[in-house]
Amino acid sequence: METAAYIQKVRNDSKISAEQLFQYQKRAQPYILAFCLCNRDDPIEKHREQVLHEDCPDLHDALQARTVLKKCYTVDDALSSIDVTVQAILVTDTGTERVEEVYEALRDYVYGGGVVIFAWSFGAYIQDTMDDLWSKWFAVQWRFAGVETAKVYLNRQNTCVDTFALPLSYELEAAFIENVQPDEAVFLPDDPATNEPPEEEDSNESPMASYDTVQTSSAFTKAGLGWVGYVGDKEDTAELRELTIGMCRVPKTPEEDEEL
């Protein structure tokens, strides 16, 4: 019996508790945590859930459909939820910036082999006061560069993210970061100040970057035994969804495999 069908059968079994069902789902599907701490002082949990869902409904629904997604709204819940079964952690806003113990836990998780991605609505919150965020906790030298509207091109130098569902280029509004190594950038901007656009008009693929560092709207890099990712897209698009899911290492659906 397929996993989804079996989970539904287990769910319909009145003898199975909610906790037992959750533990089974964690073993059967990728287990993803979403840290949403900006609204952690809001006493109404339903309101916090609504805000998170409304920020990026398509990404939220895609993750709900393909993973076991747990949203953590409090520091205690975030810290207690990290364990060896977690496949990836999404930092969805800058609420974690004010809680060092959360970043200590994220650092230990990444250095031990985990994946932490700054995405979802993170691009709407990031600012230049966070310039030391990645260097302090993950020894990654990325820095906030500013919000831009641009056309970006897929960077073939980055082989760490599954690009199957990603376009060769697309237009976006995003919070860009700089001081990124060329092979860390997933997409490169059409910006003469950073990277030259393709020379051929009919080509949508970015050139091999010849610069020491670049600006980008999305990046993914090794840190310790694990990985750190960033997606600065400010709108809930298919590109945001596929980038985030790809960085989370979520397996392709049977339908996607058939298209390969």
- pTM of the predicted protein model: 0.79
Higher pLDDT, 116 or 203: 116
In a domain, 13, yes or no: yes
Q: Are 195 and 208 in contact (CB under 8 A)?
A: no
**Res. 101 pLDDT band, cuts 50 70 90:** very high
- For all residues of the chain together, what is the average pLDDT? 79
Higher pLDDT, 19 or 88: 88
Q: What is the pLDDT of residue 124?
A: 79
In a domain, 259, yes or no: no
In a domain, 257, yes or no: no
Nearest to 83 by CA among 73, 98, 65, 68: 68
Q: What is the pLDDT of residue 15?
A: 53
Give the percent of the chain with pLDDT over 90.
Answer: 42
Q: What is the pLDDT of residue 23?
A: 53
Please report which helix (H) or strand (E) contains residue 24, including its range.
helix 18-28
**Res. 39 pLDDT band, cuts 50 70 90:** low
In a domain, 43, yes or no: yes
- Kindly state the average pLDDT of the residues 114-139: 85
Rounded CA-CA distance 29/48 in Å is: 25
Asked whether the predicted pLDDT for residue 51 surpasses 90, the reply is no
- Kindly state the average pLDDT of the residues 31-60: 72
**Res. 253 pLDDT band, cuts 50 70 90:** low
In a domain, 69, yes or no: yes
Q: Per residue in 193-215, pLDDT tens?
A: 344 544 544 445 444 444 589 99
Q: Across 89-98, 129-138, 222-231, 241-250, which has the greatest mean pLDDT?
A: 222-231
**Res. 52 pLDDT band, cuts 50 70 90:** low
**Percent of residues in the chain assigned helix, strand, coil, to nearest 5:** 35, 25, 40
In a domain, 135, yes or no: yes
Higher pLDDT, 65 or 42: 65
In a domain, 260, yes or no: no
In a domain, 172, yes or no: yes
Asked whether the predicted pLDDT for residue 7 surpasses 60, the reply is no
Counting the structural domains of the chain, the total is: 1
Asked whether the predicted pLDDT for residue 161 surpasses 50, the reply is yes
- For residue 175, the one-letter residue type is A
CA atoms within 13 A on the CB side of 104: 5
Higher pLDDT, 44 or 59: 59
- Give the structural domain span for 226: 3-252
- CATH number for position 35: 3.40.50.880
